[in-house]
Amino acid sequence: MKIKNIELNGEAKRSNIKARGRLRFSLICLFFGFFLILLKVTHVSILHNTKVSGIKFYQTHNIMNHKRADIVDRNGELLATTLPFYDLCANPKLIKNENKKILAKSIAMVLYNESEEKIYKKLNNINRSFVYLKRLISPKEWNAIVRLEEPGIFRLKRYSRHYPHQKLASHIIGGVNIDNQGIIGIEKNFDKILKDKNFINNNGQIQLSIDIRIQKILDDHLSRTIKKHDASGGAGIILNIKQSEILAMTSLPQFNPNEIHKISKENGFNKPTLGVYELGSIFKSLTVAMALDKNIVSENTIYNATKPLKEGKYIIHDYKPQKRPLKVSECILYSSNICFAQIGKDLGEKNIKEYSTKMKLFYKAEIEIPEVGKPLFPSIWRKTNLMTFSYGHGIAISPLQFVNAFSSIINGGSFRYATLIKGKYLNYNNNNDKVISERTSHKVKKLLREVVSNKEGSGNKAEVPGYFVAGKTGTAIKNKYHRYEKNKNLTSFVGFFPSYNPEFLIFIMVDEPKPIKETNNYVTGGWVAAPTVKKIISEMAPKLGIIPKEKFKENLQKHVSLKNN
């Protein structure tokens, strides 16, 4: 069957033409709409991919995206943690050139302390797809940036270190740089562990030996002493003698690790571990321990202190000359340089080197932070070196080195490095590291108790009733560029309590204290450092639950009385 073409005429033909036109128009519109949608999807995809590209670059090349494990004190108090923050970033390739100057001006008005010129330079860097506009932006700043409606600007989450106690223990904890890498202190020494993902995922943390409460007490009292005497700085260490754990350690001036970019050479310097000093008369405690242990002297051995001692071109004086022969027990009580110079000479080079080696005075201290100073001592030991060594001149060591050595002569005679890690020596036996005998250690403790308890002792201002404080004062003329400056002193005091069974050691050093009326213009260890130790013990002992002996007896009697009733 044949189908014939039907030809439309008139009105039907015109209607057909109109229908076809509408169909074509609809198809064109539909196609154009589809094209616009496709264009938009492509644009969004490109924008997203470019932004993702920038984010991937950030994540790959910026270690700040990694969390760090917490650092806590001995009681679990948080010292350093990681918190989420946001950085403001841009992709210059996505921002139209004609908008960049206006945009830079708008951003500068939002961001604190960021110049328009600096921002424009970053936005105009078309060779880069990722730039930082500002590290650490606030929610308020971000909300203002969002209102600018520029898709080429975005924020990225990162993790940053936060130190809730700010300056407290800053030289111990240390800090991180902008890339969240440890650069000083514990943060640097344990950097790999603190960044280890497995360690973090298992809730690992570094627990230090310090007690932040005791740290604050040390900081407060040392700061007051420095301010009172207009001193240039100071250092302090508090040690748990039984465990060899550092409860507090400070170096003043300090820095705030939350603002690590503001750290200076002066406030970043760690005096207790990195600084080495001629510490003066506190060294006499080590000298007398050596001489007693070698049976070169006894407590009753007499030395002539009737007049200054001349050795070659040098003349050795006493600060408060007694102008009479003195027993060894009196030599340390009055801190006689004349007596100790003779003891040093009697000890001789061989014995001094033997004991100094046992006490690790010739070696850098071992501690869990990288800032450690190297000691300075004579290459050739002449007679004068032996004499000056005995009262702490001619050899420069760090306060930490001294604390390690001093602890060994009062703890029964064994050497052990002080630690910043809680429980490090829990199952450690150090009986093989003997420095002196227990008998000698007992004698030294008795002599040093007399320095504080006797009204004529140089350290009597450190006495705290009921705590049986013992110790030794130190006043050293500062040596700068191989010249001694008579008007610049380094004053110190090392104390411990109770003297009959030492538990805690406190070392205080004050750098260049100025004379004041309250101390009768004296700037010695007995007048400056010893009273500071007294204040520290008076406040820290109750915090640690240690009551004075008199109150203990009182409470015991009350308890017995109640029991009997």
Quickly state the pLDDT bin for 4 (edges 50, 70, 90). Answer: very low
Residues 6 or more apart whose CB falls under 8 angstroms from that of 147 comprise none
pLDDT at 3: 42
Average pLDDT over residues 143-154: 93
Average pLDDT over residues 523-547: 96
Indicate if the pLDDT at residue 10 is higher than 70: no
Distances in Å between the alpha carbon of 203 and those of 112, 200, 207?
Answer: 36, 5, 12
pLDDT, tens digit, 9 for 90 and up, residues 553-562: 545 444 444 4
Q: At what angle do helices 383-390 and 284-293 cross, to 10 degrees?
A: 110
Mean pLDDT of the chain: 89
Structure tokens at 249: 């350690």
pLDDT at 18: 59
Indicate if the pLDDT at residue 112 is higher than 60: yes
Quickly state the pLDDT bin for 484 (edges 50, 70, 90). Answer: confident
Structure tokens at 352: 């001094």
Distances in Å between the alpha carbon of 10 and those of 19, 20, 23, 218, 511?
Answer: 15, 16, 21, 110, 115
| DSSP per-residue codes, 201-268 | HTT-EEEBS--HHHHHHHHHHHHHHHHHTT-SEEEEEEEETTTTEEEEEEEES---GGGGGG--TTTT
Closest CA to 381 of 394, 368, 369: 394
Between CA 194 and CA 411 the distance in angstroms is: 34
Strands (E), 73-152: 78-90, 131-134
pLDDT at 467: 96
Quickly state the pLDDT bin for 485 (edges 50, 70, 90). Answer: confident
Please check whether residue 452 is in contact with residue 463, taking contact to mean a CB–CB distance below 8 angstroms.
yes
Between CA 270 and CA 399 the distance in angstroms is: 10
Indicate if the pLDDT at residue 360 is higher than 70: yes
Specify the range with the lowest mean pLDDT, choosing from 92-106, 360-374, 524-538.
Answer: 92-106
pLDDT at 480: 75
Residues 6 or more apart whose CB falls under 8 angstroms from that of 370 comprise 184, 185, 188, 189
pLDDT at 2: 45
Is the peptide bond between 321 and the residue preceding it cis, with omega within 30 degrees of 0?
no
Phi and psi of 505, rounded to 5°? -120, 135
pLDDT at 565: 46
Distances in Å between the alpha carbon of 282 and those of 403, 517, 529?
Answer: 11, 25, 12
Indicate if the pLDDT at residue 355 is higher than 60: yes
- Reduced to 3 states (helix: H, G, I; strand: E, B; else coil), residue 546 is coil
pLDDT, tens digit, 9 for 90 and up, residues 267-304: 999 999 999 999 999 999 999 999 999 999 999 999 99
Average pLDDT over residues 375-380: 94
Closest CA to 423 of 164, 72, 70: 72
